[in-house]
């Protein structure tokens, strides 16, 4: 017998019409969604919530000291000496010899490339012209340097630069004294690198006194932080043998399949930033694909009710995320979720996947909308409710690079990102009205704000703000340009004072302007220096903006102090007390020393055409990223398509 289906009648024979069944199913799925959605609004302590939701949405788990600056800040507040975080995770696989033999290429000689370029350059004007046929930047980043590059993304970016990334002669300054200083900085980099290679290869950082490697717990199971952080520094310094070793390590040993718990912020600024900038400088596809792979692993951190990411993420397949255990009420940190924009926008550029930009734009939208006390941005925000958790405002630790990324987002967008511009100048206005102070001795400084009460202290981390205010001086109200340049110079001067007022001529972690103190640390726990870059970073920007020779002299003072007090037999080490000449070393060569401190010093003693600011913005770990010239990039894409057709 053949059963014929009657229209509108269920084949199951339950007697329900198809349309009724559809309505019923719709109702059922609505009910399930509603119940599940309601879980988000339950307090974190409710057991039901913990059963149904992954760690991502439940209460934060303490993971010890968190992101580098914040953890230190936290420890300081607790009145403890900073301790370098320790963590144990599984060791990564060794380089296979087979793979090695496949990728080993003769090292590219920086000098040879430079020589060839010098010949090319004689025939052309290397000023602002961008040639359609073969641009200056394309010649600088020649195929020798970019073997295996993804020609489409890479070429279109390099063609849209106004100047060759490495300048006429690798940025070699014309006056011999400056060149001598630059050579010295390059020697410091080689010394730091060689010792890392000898004693800590593949680990995250070098312990120069005990001559071993440090892994820490900031990067989950990721390894080689010093290698990734050094790639671009080695490249711009022309340390090509070292650069090639680093590149080979990335190819053979950088294992992104780690299962550890990492700081979203630190992985982003050091690893994603380092890989992106290595890609943009060299055109090596390897760096691009590693950056993309890692970027994707960071996305689950944004799975919160507001889209504000949590601070700690498991890089394994679970993708669970947590807030730092020490961050009040499971909050996320302004300087962490506010320091993703530059890298994420570039991840979208290179992948054509809008998701990265959408994630950071969502953060931007929320911050723009939310009410701000006196126009200020507090450091702690709940990723669940989207509200501020505390009213602590700081341009130093916990807040710092959020402000930096606002102005740099604007600059990196070729000055088209008006929201970033508005937010930056709005924030700066509020900072000036509430935080900027003049000491009795006439020093300008940025105090911290605790719900309306000023704490007259400035962290070393806050010293980046001289450079930040400097690079933003041109784009605020036209009548404020000089005012911003003056403010930038004053802050940089104050930070220099914090160095000159110490016995070692290195600056403390935090200095105060109360109880008779003027740019000096009063607490024992604030007296350390861990090879931080911020003061030198501001010297570099102020030099580029003003060409006042004092900034180069101040940078040289820092070099001499680093050599005298931080250089040990097997690398560079931080010191525990900048006020005593019998120094005690902390046995740690931070990866940011290679990525930032030495790079900024090198740039300070180079001509301005080495990584010109017209073309590049530096992420907060000093990794250069190119300005995105949308219309040029579109033209290039059309042109590339026409050619390939």
Member of 170, 378, 533, 626 binding ligand DMJ (CB under 6 A): 533
Residue number, nearest CB to ligand DMJ: 620
Q: Is 58 in the site for ligand DMJ (CB under 6 A)?
A: no
- Per-residue x/- track, 537-576, ligand DMJ (CB under 6 A): ----------------------------------------
CA distances from 243 to 107, 193, 231, 232, 414 (A): 9, 10, 6, 8, 30
CB 530 to ligand DMJ: min, Å = 7
The secondary structure of 308-372 as a DSSP string is PPPSEEE-STT--EE--TTSGGGPEEHHHHTS-HHHHHHHHHHH--THHHHHHHHHHHHHHHS--
Residue 57 or residue 68: which is nearer to ligand DMJ going by CB?
68
Q: Is 205 in the site for ligand DMJ (CB under 6 A)?
A: no
Member of 401, 409, 465, 520 binding ligand DMJ (CB under 6 A): 401
Number of residues that bind ligand DMJ (CB under 6 A): 10
Please give the DSSP secondary-structure letter assigned to residue 525: G
Q: Is 311 in the site for ligand DMJ (CB under 6 A)?
A: no
Question: Quick check: helix, strand or coil at residue 207?
Answer: strand
- Per-residue x/- track, 11-30, ligand DMJ (CB under 6 A): --------------------
Which ranges in 209-307 belong to alpha helices (H)?
A: 225-237, 240-253, 264-266, 273-282, 285-298
Residue 572 or residue 592: which is nearer to ligand DMJ going by CB?
592
Question: Quick check: helix, strand or coil at residue 505?
Answer: coil
Measured at the CA of 372, the angle between CA 371 and CA 374, to 5 degrees, comes to 130
Please give the DSSP secondary-structure letter assigned to residue 302: G
Q: Is 493 in the site for ligand DMJ (CB under 6 A)?
A: no
| Cα 582 from Cα 559, distance rounded (Å) | 18
CB 521 to ligand DMJ: min, Å = 16
Residue 63 or residue 468: which is nearer to ligand DMJ going by CB?
468
Q: Which of 265, 29, 146, 157 is nearest to 636 (CA)?
A: 157
| Cα 572 from Cα 504, distance rounded (Å) | 15
Which residues are CB-neighbours of 4 under 8 A, at least 6 positions away? none
Residue 223 or residue 532: which is nearer to ligand DMJ going by CB?
532
CB 534 to ligand DMJ: min, Å = 6
Residue 137 or residue 620: which is nearer to ligand DMJ going by CB?
620
Residue 141 or residue 595: which is nearer to ligand DMJ going by CB?
595
| Cα 539 from Cα 553, distance rounded (Å) | 9
Q: Is 267 in the site for ligand DMJ (CB under 6 A)?
A: no
Q: Which of 270, 250, 213, 186 is nearest to 86 (CA)?
A: 213
Q: Which of 558, 555, 553 is nearest to 572 (CA)?
A: 558
The DSSP bridge pattern shows strands 567-568 and 571-572 to be: antiparallel
Q: Is 502 in the site for ligand DMJ (CB under 6 A)?
A: no
Member of 70, 417, 448, 621 binding ligand DMJ (CB under 6 A): 621
Member of 199, 302, 592, 616 binding ligand DMJ (CB under 6 A): 592
Member of 199, 204, 620, 636 binding ligand DMJ (CB under 6 A): 620
Residue 157 or residue 592: which is nearer to ligand DMJ going by CB?
592
Which residues are CB-neighbours of 493 under 8 A, at least 6 positions away? 443, 444
The CA-to-CA distance between both ends of the chain, in Å, stands at 61
CB 532 to ligand DMJ: min, Å = 4
Active site residue 509: yes
Q: Is 518 in the site for ligand DMJ (CB under 6 A)?
A: no
The catalytic residue among 138, 242, 448, 509 is 509
Tokens 């995250």 correspond to 204
CB 67 to ligand DMJ: min, Å = 9
Residue 223 or residue 599: which is nearer to ligand DMJ going by CB?
599
Q: Is 532 in the site for ligand DMJ (CB under 6 A)?
A: yes
CB 394 to ligand DMJ: min, Å = 12
- Per-residue x/- track, 66-85, ligand DMJ (CB under 6 A): --xx----------------
Which H helix or E strand runs over 437? strand 436-438
Which residues are CB-neighbours of 298 under 8 A, at least 6 positions away? 264, 267, 268, 272, 313
CB 65 to ligand DMJ: min, Å = 14
CB 304 to ligand DMJ: min, Å = 23
| Cα 178 from Cα 176, distance rounded (Å) | 5
CB 642 to ligand DMJ: min, Å = 42
| Cα 116 from Cα 567, distance rounded (Å) | 36
Q: Is 467 in the site for ligand DMJ (CB under 6 A)?
A: no
Supply the residues annotated as catalytic: 509
Site residues for ligand DMJ per CB under 6 A: 68-69, 401, 461, 532-533, 592, 596, 620-621
């Amino acid at each position: 017998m053949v059963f014929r289906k009657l229209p509108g009648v269920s084949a199951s024979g339950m007697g329900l019409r198809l349309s009724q069944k559809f309505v019923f199913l719709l109702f059922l799925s609505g009910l399930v969604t509603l119940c599940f959605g309601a879980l988000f609004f339950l307090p974190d302590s409710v057991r039901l919530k913990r059963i149904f939701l992954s760690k991502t949405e439940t209460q934060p788990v303490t993971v010890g000291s968190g992101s580098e600056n914040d953890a230190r800040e936290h420890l300081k507040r607790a009145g403890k000496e900073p301790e370098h975080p320790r963590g144990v995770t599984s060791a990564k696989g060794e380089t296979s010899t087979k793979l090695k033999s496949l990728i080993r290429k003769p090292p590219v000689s920086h000098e040879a490339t430079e020589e060839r370029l010098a010949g090319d350059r004689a025939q052309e004007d290397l000023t602002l012209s961008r040639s359609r046929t073969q641009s200056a930047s394309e010649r600088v980043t020649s195929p020798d340097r970019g073997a295996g590059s993804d020609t489409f993304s890479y070429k279109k970016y390099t063609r849209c630069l106004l100047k060759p990334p490495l300048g006429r002669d690798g940025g070699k300054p014309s006056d011999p004294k400056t060149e001598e200083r630059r050579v010295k900085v390059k020697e410091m980099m080689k010394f730091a690198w060689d010792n890392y290679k000898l004693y800590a290869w593949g680990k995250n950082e070098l312990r120069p006194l005990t001559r071993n490697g440090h892994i820490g717990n900031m990067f989950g199971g990721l390894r080689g932080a010093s290698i990734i952080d050094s790639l671009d520094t080695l490249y711009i310094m022309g340390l090509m043998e070292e650069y090639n070793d680093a590149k080979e390590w990335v190819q053979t040993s950088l294992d992104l399949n780690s299962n550890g718990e990492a700081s979203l912020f630190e992985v982003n600024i050091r690893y994603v930033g380092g890989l992106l900038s290595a890609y943009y400088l060299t055109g090596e596809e390897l760096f691009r694909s590693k950056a993309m792979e890692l970027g994707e692993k960071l996305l689950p951190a944004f799975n919160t009710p507001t889209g504000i990411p949590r601070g700690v993420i498991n890089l394994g397949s679970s993708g669970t995320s947590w807030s730092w255990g020490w961050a009040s009420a499971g909050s996320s940190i302004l300087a962490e979720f506010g320091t993703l924009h530059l890298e994420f926008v570039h991840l979208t550029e290179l992948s054509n996947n809008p998701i990265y930009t959408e994630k950071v734009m969502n953060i931007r939208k929320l911050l723009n909308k939310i009410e701000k006390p006196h126009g200020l941005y507090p450091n702690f925000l709940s990723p669940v409710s989207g509200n501020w958790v505390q009213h602590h405002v700081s341009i130093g630790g916990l807040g710092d690079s959020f402000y930096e990324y606002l102005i740099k987002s604007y600059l990196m967008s070729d000055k088209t990102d008006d929201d970033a511009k508005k937010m930056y100048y709005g924030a700066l206005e509020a900072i000036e009205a509430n935080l900027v102070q003049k000491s009795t001795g006439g020093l300008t400084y940025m105090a911290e704000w605790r719900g309306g009460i000023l704490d007259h202290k400035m962290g070393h981390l806050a010293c980046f703000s001289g450079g930040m205010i400097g690079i933003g001086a041109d784009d605020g109200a036209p009548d404020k340009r000089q005012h911003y340049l003056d403010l930038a110079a004053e802050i940089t001067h104050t930070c220099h004072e914090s160095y000159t007022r110490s016995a070692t001529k290195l600056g403390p972690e935090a200095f105060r302007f109360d109880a008779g103190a003027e740019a000096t640390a009063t607490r024992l726990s604030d007296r350390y220096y861990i090879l931080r870059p911020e003061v030198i970073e501001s010297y570099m920007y102020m030099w580029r903006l003003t060409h006042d020779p004092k900034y180069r002299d101040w940078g040289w003072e820092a070099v001499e102090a680093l050599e005298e007090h931080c250089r040990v037999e097997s690398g560079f080490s931080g010191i525990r007390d900048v006020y005593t000449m019998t120094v005690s070393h902390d046995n740690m060569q931070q990866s940011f020393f290679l990525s930032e401190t030495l790079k900024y010093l090198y740039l300070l003693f180079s001509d301005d055409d080495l990584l010109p600011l017209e073309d590049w913005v530096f992420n907060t770990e000093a990794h250069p990223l190119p300005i995105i010239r949308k219309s040029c990039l579109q033209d290039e894409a059309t042109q590339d398509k026409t050619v390939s057709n």
